[in-house]
Structure 1
Amino acid sequence: MSISIFGFQALWSPWYFVTMVLIVLLYFLITVKWQHKFEGSQPLQRREAISFVSGIIVLYIVKGSPVDLMGHIMFTFHMVQMAFLLLLVPPLLLGGVPGWLWNAVVKKPFIDKFLRIFTNPILSLIIFTALFSFYHIPLVHDTIKYSVLLHAVYTFILFTSAVLMWMPVLSKDPNHQLDGLRKMLFIIASAVLITPACALIIFADAPMYETYTSGEAWLKAMALCVPASTLANIPPIPPEVFTNVPALYDQQMGGVIMKVLQEIIYGVFLFNFFIAWYRSEKMNADEITQKTIVERQRLAANSRHI
């Protein structure tokens, strides 16, 4: 059966698309047209613009395109959503915020205090891992998907926790950023902490989520992205009619894909952090060596005068 039966609105989320376009327009208004209103502002860099727009495009793909609809039909697509929404979109958006704009926002006393607490490396890791793991407890996951409001609120909180988790390594404020070596340790720790939740999903011997196995439960959860008028014409069929993959294999594959995508994304950042740290250490070593040579030459010159 084709997913086209759910209609254009469910497949492409036109209002969500419009919202993303408006966010991009607002971004360029602030960073280009209105940048002179901010202290210490500089021209928007191309890489910053590309990073932010890329983040918005990925955000629309995972939450507004047919990928979002498939995420309610196959657990595999749900985990693809989670990987990109939580592990790729936040760093792309953070990378698109110019330093001068970041400083203008975080210098507000309340925001600065909030960030100092919730971007603490250990606390941010614990909060994100706990929220992600809690969300994938079968009872919790199914309950959240039965309510449009609950699902929206929890997704927003989970996404916010992901942004806060990424800030210790990507923030452009030195007060909220780790040094090179600690960035690498942070990424490794994050990869380790999320592993148990993925492992429980991968090694489960039976399907755990009613919203991916029970026709009635699945149809109720589809209200998150499909208009009620469309759902009224669809019988409570199991979601497996849209795919040839059994529910257990779909669940296990979702856990594997989540972990693989996490390792790839984290691997890219880990490599970049290592290169930056290595270059910094090399530059520092060269600087120390040069200072030592100059100092020895000065001492030698002094000894000759004596």
Structure 2
Amino acid sequence: MSDMNSIASLTYRAGLPPMHGDPWLLSGPFWTTWIFDASVVVGVFALAAWYIWAVGPLNRNSPGAEQRPISTGHRISFLAGCVALAVAWGPPLEDWAGLLLTAHMAQHVILTLVVPPLLIYGTPGWLLRPLLRWRGVERAGYVLTRPVVALVLSGFTFIIWHVPDLYNLA
């Protein structure tokens, strides 16, 4: 019996529902057949590379660099956020999320409670200031970050994301 069938059997015996589809239809070793999505690998790598360049050489070679310090802790935080993104969207978690509700919910927790604080803490204010110069961005940021507005938008996004037809489009 393959690892996949063993896990599926234990899942059914424990009374736990499968996430999507019948796990018996899946074949291959559950723990070792991982599929790397190139868009995730390239996207996370590009984000990390851009950050390293922006807070490193770009910052050092720009006038006033001594006024834009960034600590090692901030760098580690941002890069840990990138690693957390890769863990959430990469194998094996992404592969398992279609079958196991636990894996799917682990993705939610990582993407909503782990990644944002790490990326936000690691992003220095001076890196965001050029974006805030655009007309209306500061006002939109003020409105969107009000607690009631943020709660409504968060709930709406969560509901829309889980409409089956829209979820399948993604």
When normalised by structure 2's length, the TM-score is 0.72
Find the counterpart in structure 1 of residue 152 from structure 2. Answer: 126
8 Å Cα contact 1:52/1:96 also seen in 2: yes
8 Å Cα contact 1:61/1:67 also seen in 2: yes
Find the counterpart in structure 1 of residue 8 from structure 2. Answer: none
Matched, 1:11 2:27: no
**What are structure 2's unaligned runs of at least 5 residues?**
5-25
Find the counterpart in structure 2 of residue 28 from structure 1. Answer: 52
- C-alpha RMSD over aligned residues: 2.7
Greater share of helix: 1
CA offsets 1:118-170 (integer angstroms, 9 cap, x no match): 1222201111022214434xxx1x223332xxx2xxxxxxxxxxxxxxxxxxx
Matched, 1:37 2:59: no
CA 1:38–1:4 in structure 2 vs 1: closer, same or farther (change >3 Å)? Answer: farther
Aligned-pair distance for 1:38? 6.9
Aligned-pair distance for 1:14? 3.9
8 Å Cα contact 2:48/2:79 also seen in 1: yes
Aligned-pair distance for 1:15? 4.1
Question: What is the total number of aligned residue pairs between the two structures?
Answer: 144
SS in 2 for 1:27: helix
SS in 2 for 1:82: helix
CA 1:12–1:42 in structure 2 vs 1: closer, same or farther (change >3 Å)? Answer: same
Q: Percent of pairs identical after alignment?
A: 23
Return the alpha-carbon distance in structure 2 between the equivalents of residues 61 and 145 of structure 1.
20
Find the counterpart in structure 2 of residue 65 from structure 1. Answer: 91
SS in 1 for 2:35: helix
Aligned-pair distance for 1:72? 1.0
SS in 2 for 1:145: helix
| Structure exhibiting the larger radius of gyration computed from Cα positions | 1
CA offsets 1:265-303 (integer angstroms, 9 cap, x no match): xxxxxxxxxxxxxxxxxxxxxxxxxxxxxxxxxxxxxxx
Aligned-pair distance for 1:86? 1.3
The amino acid that maps onto 2:42 is V
Return the alpha-carbon distance in structure 2 between the equivalents of residues 121 and 38 of structure 1.
37
Return the alpha-carbon distance in structure 1 between the equivalents of residues 74 and 138 of structure 2.
23
Aligned ranges 1:225-244 → 2 under 5 Å: none
Choose from 88, 95, 98 the match for 2:124: 98
When normalised by structure 1's length, the TM-score is 0.42
SS in 1 for 2:137: helix
Return the alpha-carbon distance in structure 2 between the equivalents of residues 4 and 73 of structure 1.
12
Matched, 1:115 2:141: yes
Aligned ranges 1:1-306 → 2 under 5 Å: 1=2, 2=4, 5=28, 11-35=35-59, 36-37=61-62, 41-136=67-162, 140=163, 142-147=164-169, 151=170
Return the alpha-carbon distance in structure 1 between the equivalents of residues 52 and 71 of structure 2.
11
Aligned-pair distance for 1:18? 2.6
CA offsets 1:179-233 (integer angstroms, 9 cap, x no match): xxxxxxxxxxxxxxxxxxxxxxxxxxxxxxxxxxxxxxxxxxxxxxxxxxxxxxx
